[in-house]
Amino acid sequence: MRHLKKALTGTALAMVMTLPTAAWAQDVDPGVGVGEEIVVTAQKRTQTLIDVAQSVSVVSGATLEQQGATNFSDYLKNVPSLQLVQGTPGQGRLVLRGVNTGGVASTVAVYVDETPFGSSTGLANGAELAGDFDSFDIARIEVLRGPQGTLYGASSLGGLLKFVTNEPSTTAFEGKVLGGVEFTDGGDMSYRGAAMVNVPLGETLAFRASGSYRKQGGFIDSIGAAGSNIRSNTNDFESYGGRASLLWKPDANLSVRLSALIQNLYVDGSSFVEADPATLKPLYGGLTQSEYLPQFSNVKYRLYNGTIDYDFGPATLTSATSYGQQLQSFRADFTANLSAALGGPYVYFDQLTENRKWTQELRLASNGGDFIEWLIGGYYTREKARIFQNLKTAVPGTPGKLTPIDLPFDYAVYNLASRYEEIAGFANATLHLSPWFDVDFGGRYSHNSQRGDQVTDGVLLGASTIGNIRSSDDVFTWSVAPKVKFGKQASLYARVAKGYRPGGPNVIPAGAPPGTPTTFQPDTVTSYEIGFKGDTADRRASIEAALYHIDWNKVQLAAVVNGFGVNANGEGAEVDGAEVTATLRPTAGLVMSLNFALNDAKLSGDTDPLVVGAVKGDPLPFTPKYAVSVNADYQWELGGEVTASLGGSIRSLSRQSGNYDPTYLAAYGHFPKVRAYEVIDLRAGLAFGNYAINAYVNNLGDSGGITATQTLLGVAGLPRNVDGAIGTGVVRPRTIGINLTAGF
């Protein structure tokens, strides 16, 4: 959507982990016993956590189920330095360690098992469409903080979030069903259902499938044009889909797994609330918006993968082949902004965003080694993307109704087709120089090429065809991490790593004024980190601490230059941060953890005052100075097979800066200031053998925390008769829920 909106601005508007932790034990699966060893797959091979010289967080499937978690916003409290910038389900931006300036290309890579999902390029709005998959029957979610360019490639500047699904098992038939309901203050009732089945098909073959459905009631009211309640709870949505996987293990050396994932998200209306631009407090004292026309956002995920592993003895060969689709269609109501400019009709905006992606990775990894462990591999991806946008008008009338105006001309039509192709080679090794000293190092060379073709039409944009706009990048990323081990219980490491995000072409008319950038360059980060990991001999207490400095060069920014929406490069940014995770298990069944993240993230150079407006020293958007999470869970036996549990969490975020917006800056002298807030969650459960009841209260204090800001909306004299508004995403109001599960 950024392309047309910004064009209009210049025209018409002038790992495996036994204990699920935030690097250690952020939230511990109650079924895990004290003293069990922790292993991870952060470097694409199995290692004990103490041997991984970087920060890794894991949230187990059991924890997600206990907390009633279904999407990104539900497990932010479990991962230090992870932020979600989101106003509408399915349209979210992930941020790790403050690496964020807005823009449309991702800084956090999203994987499902062996497969990268979503666009690698800035031409398909990848940052705004992070794949938010349903978490039912997920083994765990792994989060790797810091640049991951060596093993995971493009668009992992800030880190990586990986969904690890449960494999089919030949051991036994297994099944599970789940049903739940939720009640949100001021909103409609929500409900969900899910089921899973695992079927052995012999000693070497097994099949596993799961399906889920979720209907979330809305909690935002449309007040139309006159301040009256026109329609209640407009932002409801439903999500449904499933996964299926077939595993064949004919012998101990060969494994073949075929998987498919399908998920649809149908969102009925935006989840942005109109707020006072000066204070960011909701207008009219409640969660409202002015819906002149019905809005929607539909997102579809399709992912198919085949992974083959063969153990040759000294080394294992892995091949992962994938095909993924990410398809979005949405409608936005532009009446408040454009009605007066176009003579009074209702105005709306339709968009299609399509991304289709093939990937192939082939790697060979050693099976251990006294002196050296190594991994080498190659990677190829080919993406085809399309963005189609159309600005239309409708007959003024009853708010929430759409009666299109049939005109002999178009106001604005925009179609961008693009292709992205990348080939890379990578290697990683660990040298065991002594029983107490290791060095990890790796490198990756990547070459990508891109092409864009654009067609525009309509009275606002004019008719033009721009074809075969090209760009290419060659990038080398690397990492070095020495590590000192203090027995098997503690380690001290340092890590220097580089990550990158591809540049690309800006598709602009051949006659564009001088100074309009035809391409934008890759941006890179170099991270310097030192960390300590340690736990007691019985693992009743553990701690991880890290200090880091991140240099971010040629930061990519979404901008308007000479009236054209483009991607541009700024000078740079810096992040100085610290993270601490401490976990205590003082007695059987009791787990307490504290997460603390401090991030001083700011620009290190000015941007164009007319393009972005941010200057040296301005904080990076939606990066709180500090974030603190405290979690506690207690589980005890009531007798027989009955087990009870109680738990709670509190997540506190300091004041933040909203998105960079030169229009807002010109009006108020600063960017939106997002106030500090806290979110408190409570939970309780009973387990009866194969049956369980889990109840929870999310956002107990109804915090009203802001999770996103939009461009300044409206001006004085429009039908709303207010002096402007700004759209803000908000934390879902207080929600009480209960889930029932049964296994067999």
Name the strand (E) or helix (H) holding 550.
strand 541-553
For residue 63, CA distances in Å to 21, 68, 137 come to 10, 9, 11
Say if CB 261 and CB 302 are below 8 A apart. yes
Name the strand (E) or helix (H) holding 150.
helix 149-152
Shortest CA distance to 117 belongs to which of 312, 265, 286, 324?
Answer: 324
DSSP 406: -
Q: What is the mean pLDDT of residues 543-566?
A: 86
Residue 509 lies in a domain: no
Residue 514 lies in a domain: no
Residue 510 lies in a domain: no
Three-state DSSP class for residue 127: helix
How confident is the model over 603-649, as pLDDT tens digits?
998 887 666 788 999 999 999 999 999 999 999 999 888 999 999 99
Predicted confidence (pLDDT) at residue 228 exceeds the cutoff of 80: no
Q: What is the mean pLDDT of residues 25-38?
A: 43
Residue 27 lies in a domain: yes
Query: Residue with structure tokens 């329609």?
Result: 231
Residue 154 lies in a domain: yes
Residue 238 has φ and ψ, to the nearest 5°, of -130, 145
The CB-side HSE value for 538 (13 A sphere, CA atoms) comes to 7
Token output for 246: 């077939």
- pTM (predicted TM-score): 0.91
Token output for 562: 């000479």
Residue 505 lies in a domain: no
Query: Residue with structure tokens 């980190």?
Result: 529
Q: How far apart are CA 284 and CA 281, in angstroms?
A: 9
Q: How far apart are CA 347 and CA 204, in angstroms?
A: 59
Say if CB 333 and CB 295 are below 8 A apart. yes
Provide the pLDDT for residue 3.
Answer: 44
Q: How far apart are CA 324 and CA 111, in angstroms?
A: 11
How confident is the model over 568-601, as pLDDT tens digits?
888 899 999 999 989 999 999 999 999 999 999 9
DSSP state letters, 353-368: EEEEEEEEEEEEEES-
* Paired residues of 742 in beta bridges: 177, 691
Provide the pLDDT for residue 395.
Answer: 87
* Higher-pLDDT residue of 619, 62: 619
Q: What is the mean pLDDT of residues 652-661?
A: 93
DSSP state letters, 56-80: EEEEEHHHHHHTT--SGGGSGGGST
How confident is the model over 472-497, as pLDDT tens digits?
999 999 999 999 999 888 999 999 99
Provide the pLDDT for residue 403.
Answer: 84
* Higher-pLDDT residue of 714, 668: 668
Say if CB 497 and CB 527 are below 8 A apart. yes
Residue 507 lies in a domain: no
Say if CB 381 and CB 357 are below 8 A apart. yes
Predicted confidence (pLDDT) at residue 36 exceeds the cutoff of 60: no
Three-state DSSP class for residue 580: strand
For residue 338, CA distances in Å to 186, 615, 667, 735, 740 come to 31, 30, 19, 36, 48
Name the strand (E) or helix (H) holding 594.
strand 590-603
DSSP 36: P
Q: How far apart are CA 715 and CA 241, in angstroms?
A: 42
**Domain range for residue 203?**
2-400+410-499+520-532+542-743
Say if CB 80 and CB 27 are below 8 A apart. no
Residue 232 lies in a domain: yes
Q: Starting at the edge strand that comes first in sequence, how are the strands of the sheet with 272-275 ordered? A: 272-275, 725-730, 706-713
The structural domain count of the chain equals 1
How confident is the model over 495-527, as pLDDT tens digits?
999 999 998 888 776 667 777 777 888 899 999
User: The CATH number of the domain where 321 resides is what?
Assistant: 2.40.170.20
How confident is the model over 340-385, as pLDDT tens digits?
788 888 889 899 999 999 999 999 999 987 899 999 999 999 999 9
In whole numbers, what is the pLDDT of the chain averaged over residues? 87
Three-state DSSP class for residue 20: coil
Q: How far apart are CA 323 and CA 360, in angstroms?
A: 9
CB within 8 Å of 228: residues ≥ 6 apart: none
Three-state DSSP class for residue 24: coil
Shortest CA distance to 350 belongs to which of 308, 404, 406, 417?
Answer: 404
Q: How far apart are CA 493 and CA 205, in angstroms?
A: 42
